Amino acid sequence: MVEEIALDRETDVAMLDAMLRTTRLDGVILSPPVTDHEPVLEKLKAQRIPFIRIAPLTNKHRSPQISADDSAGARAIARHLWGLGHRRIGFIAGPVGHSASHLRQQGFIDELMACGLDRKAVSLAEGDFSFASGMAAGILLLGKKPRVTAIFAANDDMAAGVIAAAARLGVRVPEDLSVAGFDDSPVATLVWPPITTVRQPIVEMAAAAAELLIGEGTAPAKPFGVELIERRSTGVSPEIVREPRDSARPARARKKAVQP
């Protein structure tokens, strides 16, 4: 069975209590942010229910775990935007305490600083992984002066929200603003322009977690690799004088393996 997670710890514990009352659980796979919710972990331990954690940020010794290299993916986005000439960049974080969002933010900022960007040139906004929060954060970031020329959102839904915010404000994507996301979820190719993002091997990760849970697999020695998918939502910074080029861009996405 699949149960949707909440965004607060009390609700997560209440949902687990309800499941324990009505269902005999042989094992549980926990995804962020509940993967780091200590009361949930303690309750599962007390009930002797085995569990696998996806991308935990804290107490990693508590149980077997599966994760993708969120930091490497965010670093790839940072290098991509830097290479396009962007020097005023915004980042939209996911929910507070969400391990993947934390790793993406840290990796992104660290890589930009390694490229030579001043930390103060990165504007931060908060979101909750929803389209609406991405739109609100996008409006906030685009209202800053001088305006950012690129925004990286910690997931694709928020990136889609940024594109909607840009359209509302008359900001062209990617001519005036480059937008990048993370996950390569379906929305990344449903919006226009399609979103440059980072693809995670979701199917492989889910299979590995299930095999670990039933005792037929071993924990991977390192996080699963990710892949940068370049689409039409990112382009050269408007502050760079562009050379004439054919306006028709290739429709096929460009894929780049990401090195840790």
Other CB atoms within 10 Å distance of the CB of residue 87: 18
Residue showing tokens 């509302």? 168
Task: Report how many domains make up the chain.
Answer: 2
Tell me the pLDDT band of 248, cut-offs 50, 70 and 90. very low
Give yes or no for residue 252 having a pLDDT over 60.
no
Pair 191, 143 in one domain: yes
pTM: 0.80
Pair 27, 144 in one domain: no
- Tell me the three state secondary structure of residue 46: helix
The boundaries of the domain holding residue 161 are 70-200+226-239
Pair 54, 150 in one domain: no
Q: Note the pLDDT of residue 256.
A: 61
Rounded-to-integer distance, Cα 154 and Cα 169, Å: 22
Region 13-41 average pLDDT: 78
In degrees, rounded to 5, the angle at the alpha carbon of residue 220 between the alpha carbons of residues 218 and 223 is 155
Type and span of the H or E element at 156: helix 156-169
Pair 46, 79 in one domain: no
Give yes or no for residue 74 having a pLDDT over 70.
yes
CATH of the domain at 230: 3.40.50.2300
The residues facing 152 across adjacent strands are: 91, 180
Q: Is residue 245 part of a domain?
A: no
- Which carries the bigger pLDDT value, residue 15 or residue 210? 210
Tell me the pLDDT band of 60, cut-offs 50, 70 and 90. low
